[in-house]
């Protein structure tokens, strides 16, 4: 079977649902999305610049700006409609710029103290993603990646699979989300982004901490550059 390319999958998943994204992510994660993003923010040290990859509608980007109002923040996303929604939320006091670009092809002439991303690892080749992050990272910089994970314990897996089976049925009635609710669990089950990204970061001389959250349904990987 020919596997769908990740770029095609991203277009299929996000091409037609930007307007409802924030409501859907909050409802389907039972509000855990906000908690996971707060956990990402907690791991950002004092910094002058932050790159938020796959920023989407900017939920995390604006939270970072709230905590670090003096930092220069750049949000990058590959889906134009998501970025348009993020840009609509900008105020003159924000030091945020949004760029339409592919995180796996990114080549900015700026380096950042911190690189964050919520929900990108499963859509990227881990080697390319980490290589691009390291390219854009300042000495002493930090990479903080977050995404869903497939729980390890059998009873939790049972609940997790049941939940996604229900979501798949509900998805038929939610415009723009049918494909995501159907195919997201397969993608999460097939990925082992935490171990892969952790290994690559460690081989590149980073100190890495993996923290699993909400009964192992998601994880945050924090890598700090040794100097």
Q: Which residues bind ligand SAM (CB under 6 A)?
A: 10, 14, 54-56, 59-60, 76-79, 82, 102-104, 118-120, 123-124
- For ligand SAM, the closer CB: 116 or 140: 116
List Cα–Cα distances, 203 to 130, 191, 193, 195, 197, in angstroms. Answer: 11, 20, 15, 12, 10
- For ligand SAM, the closer CB: 123 or 226: 123
Q: At its nearest, how many Å lie between ligand SAM and the CB of residue 75? A: 9
Q: At its nearest, how many Å lie between ligand SAM and the CB of residue 48? A: 22
Per DSSP, the residues of the chain read -PPPPHHHHHHHHHTT-GGGHHHHHHHHTTTHHHHHHHHHHHT--S-SEEEEET-TTSHHHHHHHHH-TTSEEEEEES-HHHHHHHHHT--TT--EEEEE--GGG---S--EEEEEEES-GGGS-HHHHHHHHHHTEEEEEEEEEEEE---SSHHHHHHHHHHHHHHHHHHTTSTTTHHHHHHHHHHHHH--HHHHHHHHHHHTTEEEEEEEETTTTEEEEEEEE--
Locus of tokens 């610049």: 49
Q: At its nearest, how many Å lie between ligand SAM and the CB of residue 193? A: 13
Query: Which tokens in the block code for residue 177?
Result: 């989300």
- For ligand SAM, the closer CB: 26 or 192: 26
Locus of tokens 């009635």: 173
The residue nearest ligand SAM at its CB is 56
- For ligand SAM, the closer CB: 100 or 207: 100
- For ligand SAM, the closer CB: 34 or 158: 34
CB 186 within 8 A of CB 164: no
- For ligand SAM, the closer CB: 124 or 219: 124
- For ligand SAM, the closer CB: 55 or 134: 55
């Amino acid at each position: 079977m020919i596997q769908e390319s990740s770029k095609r999958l991203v277009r299929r998943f996000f091409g037609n649902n930007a307007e409802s994204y924030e409501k859907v992510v909050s409802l389907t994660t039972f509000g855990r999305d906000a908690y996971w993003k707060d956990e990402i923010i907690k791991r950002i040290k004092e910094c002058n610049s932050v790159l938020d990859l796959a920023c989407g509608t900017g939920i995390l980007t604006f939270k970072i700006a709230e905590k670090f109002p003096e930092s220069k923040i750049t949000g990058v996303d590959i889906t134009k409609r998501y970025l348009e929604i993020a840009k609509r939320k900008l105020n003159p006091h924000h030091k945020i710029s949004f760029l339409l670009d592919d995180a796996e092809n990114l080549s900015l002439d700026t380096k950042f103290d911190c690189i964050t991303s919520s929900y990108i690892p499963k859509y990227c080749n881990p080697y390319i993603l980490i290589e691009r992050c390291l390219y854009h990272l300042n000495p002493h910089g930090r990479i903080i990646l977050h995404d869903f994970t497939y729980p390890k314990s059998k009873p939790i897996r049972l609940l997790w699979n049941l939940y996604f089976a229900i979501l798949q049925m509900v998805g038929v009635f939610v415009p723009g989300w049918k494909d995501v609710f159907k195919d997201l669990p397969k993608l999460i089950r097939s990925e082992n982004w935490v171990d892969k990204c952790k290994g690559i970061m460690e081989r590149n001389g980073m100190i890495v901490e993996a923290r699993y959250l909400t009964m192992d349904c998601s994880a945050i990987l924090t890598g700090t550059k040794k100097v």
